Amino acid sequence: MRAPHDVIERAKKLREELNYHAYRYYVLNDPIITDEEYDRMLKELQELEKKYPELITPDSPTQRIGAKPLNGFEQVIHSSRLYSLDNTYSEEELKGFDRRIKKLLNVEQLDYVCELKIDGLSVTLRYEEGILVLGATRGDGTVGENVTKNIRTIKSIPLRLRKPLTIEIRGEVYLPKSEFKKINDERAEQELPLFANPRNAAAGTLRQLDPKEVAKRNLDAFFYQIVSPENYELETQWEVLQFLKEIGMKTEPHARLVSDISEVIEFWKEWSESRNNLDYAIDGLVVKVNRIEFQNKLGYTAKSPRWAIAFKFPAEQARTKLLDVTFQVGRTGVITPVAELEPVKLAGTIVKRATLHNFDYIRDRDIRIGDTVIVEKAGEIIPQIVKPIAETRSGKEKVIEPPSSCPVCGGKVGKAKEDEVALRCLNPACPAKTERRILLFVSRNAMDINGLGEKMIKRLVHSGLVKSPADLYKLTPFDLAQLGNGIGEKTIRNFYKELEKSRKRPLHKLLAGLGIPGVGVKLARDLAEHFKTLDALQNATIDQLLEVPGIGLELAKNIVEFFNLPEIKEEIEHLKKEVNTSERSSKKEELLKGKKFVLTGTLKNFTRKEAEELIVSLGGKVSSSVSKNTDFVVVGENPGSKFQKAKALNVKTINEEEFIKLIREGEKNDIS
């Protein structure tokens, strides 16, 4: 059955409106409708396209996600080479660059465009008559990989330009720091290897074979180059940036046009000091001759353009001594090596410990106890050892060997799968694994059993009273009293009060506490809202799980595998007798419903993740950027540029005490 004319027109109007509002939200950061209004229009379009598949067009916002996983990437031969840049860390070398090209051009004065150098992954996009037809990686500069399906999931990249142009555009795909932190927090929770930095995470994400997995990572992009700009009557790089904005492409907002190399150096100094205030990693400036006529005259060397140079920031690294290596055992038994360091100041903080990721990482870099090492904050977030300085060795350094048995229980160690990097304790009764599982289960974002801290859990596990989360509900006052040492009548009474509260928690809290591989707080809520009951989720097929937004094939398989484990089945049967297993929201869980929050600076009482998840658990939303539609900006110590933007837009700002008061007093507060 063909679609009637009025339906065709309605679908066209919906596509245009949705693409326009996506442009306002993701490119301009200035939405003019609510998320609910956008979602309502998107759902209407999805229903029309489902009923009349011939209405689906390449620029439909419904086509961003949903492509089937790929078997591999096709090669793409670039229309013109993607060159790499020469770089310098030296003001004198930059001045030499200026003198050299002025001499080649026989001019006394030159305008430059300074652009922040995004630490991401270079891509090229082709549009035909305004429609996105190809997205490819840089590759070796001549041949890249076709990643169009993955590019389409990046919401800031338009599927249709604001002008019907046939054009090739180049830029940088990156992972925002806030998303990088969320991903690594979730990977740490699931005891998966952490990404070293946002750039590696972005590159790994863009090469995922399943577009649904790519969509979950919330990649972003900036664009800065047009192939053959003369074809569009553009005479300068500054005009190129303005033209890109006009046609709907996102550009880095801090670019500056300058008329002297001393202004370039001043701009570089400004951003050397304030780069950490951005939500994306930058490692310097890209300095470009502004006039395209001059660019064409200067041309290229074998590797780089003569008309541009990367003026890089000093790396935030430090030298220190690796004193020892300790081993941590996580909830699933993963054994993580941790470097114990001679304290060193790095990026404004004192660093005493750093991740060594896994034993392959140690072996590949030949890191030894006693080495002088280079340590850095990956993406300005996670301290990690980059490499040892082998030249400083005395011969007394010790090779770091993986433990032959579990450092906690003495049980066997090995790899759960042949292709796995992580070494694990294979003893299912390892107390370290049990402690971590219980800690997750009782945490604020899960069953929220207040007062049950790490020390108490350790005592319960080592006494043999608790071997799984379900055992918490079987504890008697006599059991607790036997622990002695500060476990008095008041402590016992408070414990049972909190335990009783936890029995009524909604399903998403229980799911967040079970430790399902790949399922964090947000996805736990999505699963609970989709399946409504624990029974329905337990019995869900892979196809049914794939219906949940954000779940790809690999994650769906992991969830099914988790619920089929005999020990998990047994544990869930016990939990079903003790706690609520259906999804229902309380008044408290809708306290912040519809409110949009942005966090900036360091909070004293919460980690960034805890604050974000608390807001989400109360029905609010958290964004990484401030817009007119932001309701509150929560300001911690040393706030970044988001604080200034909030003041400029007259968005309400609250400090941490006011944020806590807002949560505690609930409806007594005026949060309208």
**CA-to-CA dists, residue 117 to 87, 121, 224, 280, 346, angstroms:** 11, 11, 11, 10, 22
What residues contact 403, with CB distance under 8 A and at least 6 apart? 327, 335, 413, 423
pLDDT value of residue 253: 92
Residue 85 among known ligand-binding residues: yes
* Cα separation of the two ends of the chain: 48
**Domain coordinates in residue numbering, the chain:** 5-63, 87-312, 317-399, 431-503, 507-576, 588-668
Position 228 scores a pLDDT of: 94
Residue range 601-650, pLDDT digits in tens: 888 888 777 788 788 778 788 887 788 889 999 998 878 778 888 888 88
Which range among 92-101, 108-117, 307-316, 373-382 shows the weakest confidence by mean pLDDT? 373-382
Residue positions counted in the chain: 672
Q: Is 604 a catalytic residue?
A: no
Alpha carbon 513 to chain centroid, angstroms: 21
Residue 168 dihedral angles phi and psi, to the nearest 5°: -120, 130
Residue 323: band (very low, low, confident or very high) from pLDDT cuts 50, 70, 90: very high
Asked whether residue 280 carries a pLDDT value surpassing 80, the answer given is yes
Residue 398: predicted pLDDT: 94
Q: How far apart are CA 431 and CA 454, in angstroms?
A: 13
pLDDT one-digit tens code per residue, 520-545: 887 888 899 899 999 999 999 999 99
Mean pLDDT computed over 544-573: 89
Task: Determine whether the annotation assigns residue 561 to a binding site.
Answer: no
Residue 167 pLDDT:
96
Q: 431-503 with 507-576: one CATH topology?
A: yes
d(CA 194, CA 201): 9
Q: Up-side HSE of residue 62: CA atoms within 13 Å toward CB?
A: 19
114 is in an annotated binding site: no
Question: 588-668 domain in CATH 3.30.110.30?
Answer: no
Average pLDDT over residues 157-169: 95
Catalytic residue among 12, 50, 117, 509: 117
- Strand-pair partners of 405: 412
CATH topology assigned to domain 507-576:
DNA polymerase; domain 1 (1.10.150)
Percent of all residues in the chain with a pLDDT value above 70, rounded to a whole number: 94
Order of all β-strands in the sheet with 596-600: 621-623, 596-600, 632-635, 653-655
* Residue 302 predicted with pLDDT over 70: yes
Answer whether 244's CB lies under 8 Å from 169's CB: yes
185 or 241, higher pLDDT? 241
CA distances from 654 to 241, 589, 593, 599 (A): 36, 21, 18, 10
The answer to which of 299-303, 343-347, 475-479 has the lowest mean pLDDT is 343-347
Residue 39: is its pLDDT beyond 80? no
d(CA 528, CA 540): 12
pLDDT greater at residue 32 or residue 374: 374
Going by their DSSP bridges, the two strands 368-369 and 372-378 should be labelled as unpaired
pLDDT tens profile 50-73: 888 888 888 888 888 755 656 678
Mean pLDDT of the chain: 87
84 a known binding residue?
yes
For the domain bounded by 431-503, which CATH number is listed?
Answer: 1.10.150.20
pLDDT tier for residue 667 given thresholds of 50, 70 and 90: very low
d(CA 184, CA 203): 15
Fold of 317-399: OB fold (Dihydrolipoamide Acetyltransferase, E2P) (2.40.50)
Does position 233 have pLDDT exceeding 90, yes or no? yes
Query: Does residue 386 have a pLDDT over 90?
Result: no
Q: What is the mean pLDDT of residues 330-336?
A: 86
The Cα–Cα gap between 533 and 531 comes to 6
**528, 497, 492, 498: which is closest to 616 by C-alpha?**
528
Under the banding of pLDDT at 50, 70 and 90, the label for residue 239 is very high
Q: Is 360 part of any known ligand binding site?
A: no
Q: Does domain 87-312 have CATH number 3.30.470.30?
A: yes
State yes or no: 174 annotated in a binding site. Answer: no
Query: How many Cα atoms are found within 13 Å in the side-chain-facing hemisphere of 565?
Result: 15
Q: Read off the pLDDT band of 672 (50, 70, 90).
A: very low
- Indicate the CATH number for domain 5-63: 1.10.287.610
Band of the pLDDT at 670, cuts 50, 70, 90?
very low
Q: Rounded to two decimals, what is the model's pTM? A: 0.64
Residue 115 marked ligand-binding: yes
Residue of higher predicted confidence among 641 and 565: 565
∠ CA 169-378-374 to the nearest 5 degrees?
Answer: 125
448 annotated ligand-binding residue: no
Q: What is the pLDDT of residue 207?
A: 84
